[in-house]
Chain A
């Protein structure tokens, strides 16, 4: 069977490659069972249709790596690792077919320009007006107003209207009223990438501000009077406290090393009323390899419980998550208990700073624990302040050293909090999973590119759709049934315990990964509507028992495990019943289409 390439003009799918059914088998992750089917490659998706019509789709943007293993008697194995941690294992009978798929995937995988991304071709059948409305759902100006800014101490500045001072910041920035334009310009010249201190969250009750910036270019001895007066201005804007905390989220050693490169940290002697403090979150490279190790542990088969725990520990991921949460707790205490303003920075102020500021705000302000509020938080601290989504999430073919799961880690931290305070959050795990899915899917414009300026240049608002509009349109799917709006009144500020957060982390973050790995909801592909439509048609007949099950599953928050009810069967690897070895005892899930 030859491989043919053809293009057909169907409403939304353009086929590129097509391999006949008996030629491809998909292996189950947990057993040696396999299903045969047809593999299609379209311009945007990889689609595997099983002989029983079950469909598996993978967006090309989700594919992190494709690996061709050495030829076996059954055929040529192809392992696809996805960015949402899914691993799919195909066996293609003919090596030539396999090679063709492999090479076309490699070509499709590595978009070099933004225009190639799915968002520019994705069309959810909305007209322009609907799309514009979608983009207007979240308005950061209104958000600062909600916080009580501008006020008598803080004002909106227009210095960055044309991205002249800092091209990675948004146009609208809030600074102390006493910070004049020369001070701002001077301060920005003394900060890495021009990212001078600006307001990100205002704690109205105590008039305390959370500000963010990048590291100062202090080297071993350099000073900048404007930068010093900038911090002075931040301090003066808060009458509750005589000083402002400066929180360097890096480990001290890293910050010291930066001094040799002309960067560094604030010298307490030069700044009149600051309290300086290191927090010690590791850098993007450490996080990247930590997640890599974690996934290796979680993904490996037949580990003993001991090896598993040790592997988990040595990955360090939980330790890093704890460090981030600890920093956020520290920030929250300074603001809510002491009423002091805090300035947070790391090196460039777009990774660790974004994590700590947004988590801190989540702990301080119940609004961010609602579905809409959480979107606003991401829009503010991550999107507008220039977290480099394109580089960190590897959206375009770029430097692999720039890739790092900083945002994934933030979502994990949030998820830990939702576990510790089940009643405090309006949204459930599914919202976090959906957002994580779409950071990599490049299906919507919000999370594309590295900063606001790039987004405007790409005209994303005119050419793509908004993720928030999509998520809000189906927000009933993401509601946490245990949510109590009253919880916000009794616990306006969350106080997670640092030790037990760690314990809980371990206890359940495994679940998160398992859920991500094995139960991803493939909602991305338009083809997916077929089975669900089918499902809708038969719904009347299998209601209401099914409905009750689903409802209760949703309420319980553990949908996948419910369906294990009939789904998980231990199987022996070998049919000759060699029962003496533990590893012969395996788990296998029979997937029901209900899961989708």
Chain B
């Protein structure tokens, strides 16, 4: 295997591993193509410690060579003693855990460090671990993914009159980042779609993402129109949107940029829907940050959370300075606005930013969680993520290449998906009974999105996934999470389905720092995790007799 080129030293004995919640342990360190393996043979923990190299965000090394030379030439009697030169490698992981390895021998230390460095930054998709991961409980013959656009459409009988599945993108020629099939208004034929797609950045023409049964209105998403500096128009794009609000008099376009940003976008060929061309559509601007700003916000937040110094007087300023909670607030309030338009006012909504692959997805999926009880079940939530993020072409590989610790110069990294999970956590905290899934699921997803055994979050689009054979040669995370024993772990014992919309409070005191994620490696987390287990047990004990009682009365 070509990985061996990168591995200069495969095994080192007498390495000391320090990690949160555990005493430092001595054992053997082994570097493989995808993992760091640490085992202490004499120790009581039978299972070796396994760390996916992909999970490593930053690596820092320091070597000491005190007295090294003098010992080198000393008597042979001392050769039995471990070498005095040693090195320390600090591994900062994408799941925010920080580990430390004390390695005897300077050369070994440097070798290990350079192996880790090169192996953890491999960028060829087909060499990544999901292509080698073969757990006994899953088979490659299983369906990859939970459901396709066609299956999703087939389940929603009520939209069959007004909407159809279009295969216009079956060879990814209309929009490289869209899935092969999308749901569009019935009255719009494929030819019109092709023309409309040319008028939208990346060919991302408006498609349906949610149909609200109560009011018969919809949430659509797209990318920005390419109206440019000379205010170009596209008849087909206008027709498409007209068909969406056919009958009702008003629709809302929620632009996730400020109006100033939208104006500026015209200089680079982008733009927005002008009032005169899109009759009946009212445009609202809500500025959601993305890209570099968001990534830097995460970096600052993680830095503040890791600051163990005792001069914590300025801690709140640091937290404020990261602006993370402001981003959470804006995302939730924009999603609330979309849901409000759909549920209260009975108007359809089109959401877009510029590319339509980041903030648009964030807003549309949060709005669905607020409105749709089906998307709040465990399977429903995973289905939502699959439709709105994996299939809809969120560029996971680019966005999640590095996390908060990396020293690498930022390119396309942005924790949009982590922001989504945080917002969902806020929702679940405000409505403890409404969500069918629990915090551990969100934590698991936050970890898997950066480094995973599964292929779900590989690549940037459906097209890339097909080309690299992800769907044939890797396993699907969502399928795995829905297996019976996993399902129990990730279900919310308090869950009680409500058909009502759950309107989040966005007052600052209602928003909290997600300590389960950002403070999960601190000592306090242990007490809290323990207590959570106790509460979970209590709840399921209380729950069981009641359920039985209810079932009995039903029978």
Tell me the complex Cα distance, A562–B531, Å.
19
Q: Let me know if B523 and A318 touch, CB within 8 A.
A: no
Query: Which candidate, A257-265, A448-456, A497-505, is the interface stretch facing chain B?
Result: A497-505
Q: Which of B308, B345, B433, B535 sits near A499, CB closer than 8 Å?
A: B308
Binds B, one of A70-78, A105-113, A429-437, A574-582: A574-582
Complex Cα gap A307–B550 (Å): 48
Query: Does residue A126 face the partner (Cβ distance < 8 Å to B)?
Result: no
Q: How many residues of B contact A (CB 8 A)?
A: 67
**A309-B503 contact, Cβ under 8 Å, with A423-B534, A499-B308, A579-B284:** no
B283-317 contacts to A (CB < 8 Å): 284-285, 305, 307-310, 312-317
In the complex, the answer to whether B507 meets A587 with C-beta atoms within 8 Å is yes
**A564 B430 Cβ-Cβ under 8 A:** yes
Mark out the residues of chain B between 57 and 87 whose CB falls within 8 Å of any chain A CB in the assembled complex.
none
Report the bound CA distance from A310 to B323 in whole Å. Answer: 11
Residues of chain A from 29 to 49 with CB closer than 8 A to chain B in the complex = 30
B211-219, B221-229, B509-517 - the one binding chain A? B509-517
Report B424-461 residues with CB < 8 Å from chain A CB.
429-434
Task: Verify A548–B432 contact, CB threshold 8 A.
Answer: no
**Chain A residues within 8 Å of B152, by CB:** none
8 Å CB contact of B506 from A508, A544, A572, A587: A587
B194 close to A (CB within 8 Å): no
Task: Give A508 to B543 CA distance when docked, in angstroms.
Answer: 27
B496: A residues at CB distance < 8 A: 549
Given contacts A308-B509, A506-B319, contact A481 B523 (CB under 8 A): no
Contacting B316 at CB < 8 Å: which of A304, A309, A552, A579?
A309
Interface class of chain B by DSSP: helix
A585 x B337 contact (CB < 8 A): yes
Partner of B326, one of A304, A422, A508, A558: A304
Contact at B550–A579, with CB atoms within 8 Å? no
Asked if B502 lies at the interface with its beta carbon under 8 angstroms from chain A, I say yes
* Cβ–Cβ contact A312 & B539, under 8 A: no
Q: Which parts of B324-344 form the interface with A (CB within 8 Å)?
A: 325-326, 328-330, 333, 336-337, 340-341
Identity of the chain B residue whose Cβ is nearest the Cβ of A548 in the assembled complex:
B546
Complex Cα–Cα for A423 and B530 (A): 8
A500 to B527, CA, bound (A): 12
Whole-angstrom distance between the alpha carbons of A144 and B257 in the complex? 67
**B312, B317, B323, B511: which has the most chain A beta carbons within 10 Å?**
B312
Cβ-defined contact, A585 with B320, below 8 A: no
Question: How far is it, in angstroms, between the C-alpha of A443 and the C-alpha of B301 when the chains are bound?
Answer: 46
In the complex, are the beta carbons of B542 and A498 less than 8 A apart? no
Partner of B542, one of A30, A307, A552, A579: A552
Task: Determine if A500 and B508 form an interchain contact, defined as CB atoms under 8 angstroms apart.
Answer: no
Given contacts A318-B316, A545-B550, 15 further A-B contacts (CB under 8 A): A298-B509, A306-B320, A313-B314, A422-B527, A422-B528, A499-B310, A506-B315, A544-B549, A544-B550, A548-B546, A551-B542, A555-B539, A565-B431, A565-B498, A566-B500
A sample of 9 inter-chain contacts (CB < 8 A) reads A313-B317, A422-B535, A423-B527, A552-B494, A565-B434, A565-B500, A566-B500, A570-B506, A580-B285
In the A-B complex, the 10 residue pairs with the smallest Cβ-Cβ separation, listed nearest first, are A422-B531, A308-B508, A313-B316, A309-B320, A305-B326, A305-B325, A587-B505, A500-B524, A510-B509, A305-B508
Binding site for A on B (CB under 8 A): 284-285, 305, 307-310, 312-317, 319-320, 323, 325-326, 328-330, 333, 336-337, 340-341, 345, 429-434, 494, 496, 498, 500, 502-513, 515, 519, 522-524, 527-528, 530-531, 534-535, 538-539, 542-543, 546, 549-550
Residues of A near any B CB (own CB < 8 A): 30, 298, 303-310, 312-313, 318-319, 322, 420-423, 481-482, 484, 497-500, 502-504, 506-508, 510-511, 513-514, 544-545, 547-549, 551-552, 555-556, 558, 561-562, 564-566, 568-570, 572, 577, 579-580, 582, 585, 587
